Structure 1
Amino acid sequence: MNIIISPAKKMNVREDELDPANLPCFLSKAETLKEYIRSLSLEQARTLWACNEAIAGLNYERFQTMDLTGRLSPALLSYEGIQYQYMAPGVFETRHWDYVQKHLRILSGFYGILRPLDGIVPYRLEMQAKVKLPPERAGQEEITSLYGYWGDLLYRELVREDKVVVNLASKEYSKAIEPFLTPDITYLTCVFGVLETDKEGRPKVKVKATEAKMARGEMVRFMAEHQVESPEELKGFDGLGYCYHGELSGETEYVFLKGKL
Structure 2
Amino acid sequence: MIVLISPAKTLDLSTTDNVTYTTPDFQKETRELVSIMKKKSTEEIKKLMSVSENIAALNERRYQDFKKTFEPTHAKQALLTFNGDVYTKIDVENYSDADFEFAQAHLRILSGLYGLLKPMDLIQAYRLEMGIRLGNKKGNNLYEFWGTRIAKAINEVANKRPIINLASQEYFKAVDQKTIESTVISPLFQEYRNGKFQTIGLFAKQARGMMTNYIIKNRVEDPEQLKLFNEAGYQLTGDEKDWRFVR
Q: TM-score range by the shorter chain?
A: over 0.9
Structure 1 counterpart of 2:174, which letter?
Answer: A
* Percent identity over paired residues: 31
Q: Distance in 1 between matches of 2:25 and 2:136?
A: 21
Q: Structure 1 stretches of 5 or more lacking a match?
A: 136-142, 198-202
Q: Which residue of 48, 73, 77 maps to 2:76?
A: 73
Q: Which residue of 136, 155, 158 maps to 1:159?
A: 155
Q: 1:238 to 1:5 in 2, by over 3 A?
A: same
Give the equivalent residue in structure 1 for 2:91.
88
The Cα offsets for residues 95-149 of structure 1, whole Å up to 9 and x where unpaired, read as 21111111000000000000000011110000000111134xxxxxxx1010000
Q: Distance in 1 between matches of 2:235 and 2:103?
A: 23
Q: Structure 2 stretches of 5 or more lacking a match?
A: none
Cα displacement (A) at 1:57: 1.1
Q: Is the contact made by 1:101 and 1:116 (CA closer than 8 Å) also made in structure 2?
A: yes
Structure 1 counterpart of 2:27, which letter?
Answer: L
Q: Distance in 1 between matches of 2:235 and 2:102?
A: 23
Compute the RMSD of aligned alpha carbons.
1.6
- What TM-score do the two structures reach when normalised by structure 1? 0.88
Q: Is the contact made by 1:15 and 1:74 (CA closer than 8 Å) also made in structure 2?
A: no
Q: Distance in 1 between matches of 2:239 and 2:179?
A: 20
Greater gyration radius? 1
Cα displacement (A) at 1:170: 0.5
Structure 2 counterpart of 1:41, which letter?
Answer: S
Q: 1:171 to 1:10 in 2, by over 3 A?
A: same
Q: 1:106 to 1:59 in 2, by over 3 A?
A: same
The Cα offsets for residues 165-216 of structure 1, whole Å up to 9 and x where unpaired, read as 000001001111153355x52100011102357xxxxx75321110011111
Alignment of 1:170-185 (within 5 A): 170-182=168-180, 184-185=181-182
Q: Is the contact made by 1:20 and 1:72 (CA closer than 8 Å) also made in structure 2?
A: no
Q: Distance in 2 between matches of 1:120 and 1:227?
A: 26
Give the equivalent residue in structure 1 for 2:146.
150
Alignment of 1:120-159 (within 5 A): 120-135=123-138, 143-159=139-155
Give the equivalent residue in structure 2 for 1:168.
166
Q: Distance in 2 between matches of 1:3 and 1:249?
A: 21
